[in-house]
Amino acid sequence: MGTSEAVGQHNDVPRGAILGAGALILMTLLAVAAVRLSGIDIREPEAPTFAARELRFDDRPDGSIVVLDASGRTVRTITGEAGFVRGVLRALARERMRRGLGPEQPFQLTAHTDGRLVLRDPLTDERIGLEAFGAANAAVFAQLLQAAPADASRNPTR
């Protein structure tokens, strides 16, 4: 018995099941395309805001990140690796660079009444839901909402 005969004899999946699965996949793709092309926003509406702040993040030569409020006052200096903060900022900065935009405009950090914490770029409308990365990571940003501007005499990075 040749190899081609052995392959042809072991077709255990009924033709109808294969056609049905293919039709289901095609219908799913068409439904997704229809919703995307219709412009309907399928995101859950945002809960009311209970705290918000505009912040800029400046990298320093020593590797730290200086967090500035909308008036340019230093809120906090983040030292050390700060991998989560750097990763979030890198994602937003990459989209700005892709569009030819600079770092001058601050980001908006918003806490919602449902517990969501969102960092949004008003220039690109990119949003990162920070609570999705765990409480410890979100807490780094949550502290920036309440932090008072640092006293310039105590903060040499200003």
- Both 90 and 20 in one domain: the answer is no
Same domain? For 28 and 92 the reply is no
Residue 64 and residue 23 in one domain = no
Number of domains in the chain: 2
Same domain, 126 and 74: yes
Q: What is the pLDDT of residues 98-117, one digit of tens each?
A: 998 888 889 999 999 888 89
DSSP string covering 27-61? HHHHHHHHHHHHT---SPPPPPEEEEEEEEEEE-T
Residue-range definition of the domain harbouring residue 31: 14-43
Task: Label residue 33 by pLDDT band (50, 70, 90).
Answer: confident
pTM over 0.75: no
Task: Mark whether 22 and 77 lie in a shared domain.
Answer: no
- Tell me whether residue 7 is in a domain: no
- Say if residue 131's pLDDT is above 90: no
73 with 33, same domain? no
